[in-house]
Amino acid sequence: MITALDHVQLAAPPGSEDALRAYYVDALGLTEIPKPPALAARGGCWFAAGPVQLHLGIEEDFRPARKAHPGLRVTGITAFAERLAAHGAPVTWDDNLPGHRRFFSADPVGNRLEFLEPAAH
């Protein structure tokens, strides 16, 4: 029986860790968490916000997925979008999901991210 989603792994090109930290920590407000030593040697970085974890692993022949993405639930979505835009991240609003406000963004290496908040009734 599946009880929870432990983490989502995204890929990134070699040498992108500093740009990823700037986006995931500074813009998104996540905390970097240490990788186990055996995995740290592979590069990449892991981030968390409470129980939510995003892992960025290094892929030599990296190409960002065009459609695949994590959907991250947020509170105060307008302020969150403004924070991302202030850090230079793209913000593209989308109103095609009934009952939610949402937008899409991309990290510095092109990974697609969805941010959503249930609409107030």
Q: Give the whole-angstrom CA distance, residue 102 versus residue 118.
A: 9
Amino acid at 30: L
> In the prediction, which pLDDT does 88 show?
95
pLDDT band at 121 (very low <50, low <70, confident <90, very high): low
Mean pLDDT of 45-68: 94
pTM for the whole structure: 0.92
Dmax of the chain from CA atoms? 48
Sketch the domain layout of the chain as residue ranges: 8-60+70-118
What's the topology of domain 8-60+70-118? 2,3-Dihydroxybiphenyl 1,2-Dioxygenase; domain 1 (3.10.180)
pLDDT band at 8 (very low <50, low <70, confident <90, very high): very high
Secondary structure class of 81 (helix, strand, coil)? helix
Q: What is the pLDDT of residues 60-99, one digit of tens each?
A: 999 999 899 999 999 999 999 999 999 999 999 999 999 9
